[in-house]
Amino acid sequence: MNDTQEALLTAALDYVERGMALTWFKYGQKFPVHKDWNTPAKVITTPDAARARWGNGQLWNIGLVHGLSPIKTCSLDVDQVDLACALLAEFGIDLNAWRVGVPCVQGNPANFRLEYRQPAGLDLPLVSLKWPD
């Protein structure tokens, strides 16, 4: 297993230990295309299943299936880090401080996605902030 495969396996094991449901997709792609990827039968929620998928010598990206996690999860998807930092700073929020100790998905250094557990009793809706160019 190479370093990238080892890092992906470690991340997948961390995610399932936190109670997150996972799917897989081709390395370098952004979303799954296999049939029924977002069904209970196809999501990965145990360390054994994660080892079988990410420890098999193949290179797979990790996807989080929010709606099928044993715990409710949500994410903060930041597409332009510099602009998001500047915008949130106007409200006294330090985006870099939010990243500390939080599972973070980052392929391109210009963006990232932070993964969170939703507060008990809440079902947070999708909210998008689209900033003009």
State the average pLDDT over residues 40-50.
95
Task: For residue range 95-125, list pLDDT tens digits in order.
Answer: 999 889 888 877 777 889 898 888 888 888 8
Task: For residue range 65-86, list pLDDT tens digits in order.
Answer: 888 887 888 889 898 888 889 9
Residue 49 pLDDT > 70: yes
Per-residue confidence (pLDDT) for residue 132, from 0 to 100: 64
- Predicted structure pTM score: 0.73
| DSSP assignment string, the chain | --HHHHHHHHHHHHHHHTT--EEEEETT-SS--STTTTSTTT-B-SHHHHHHHHSSS--EEEEE-GGGSSS-EEEEEES-HHHHHHHHHTTT--HHHHTTTS-EE-SSTT-EEEEEEPPTT--PPP-------
Residue 56 pLDDT > 70: yes
| Distance of alpha carbon 60 from alpha carbon 36, whole angstroms | 17
Task: For residue range 4-42, list pLDDT tens digits in order.
Answer: 999 999 999 998 998 889 999 998 888 898 999 989 999
Q: Are 66 and 103 in contact (CB under 8 A)?
A: no
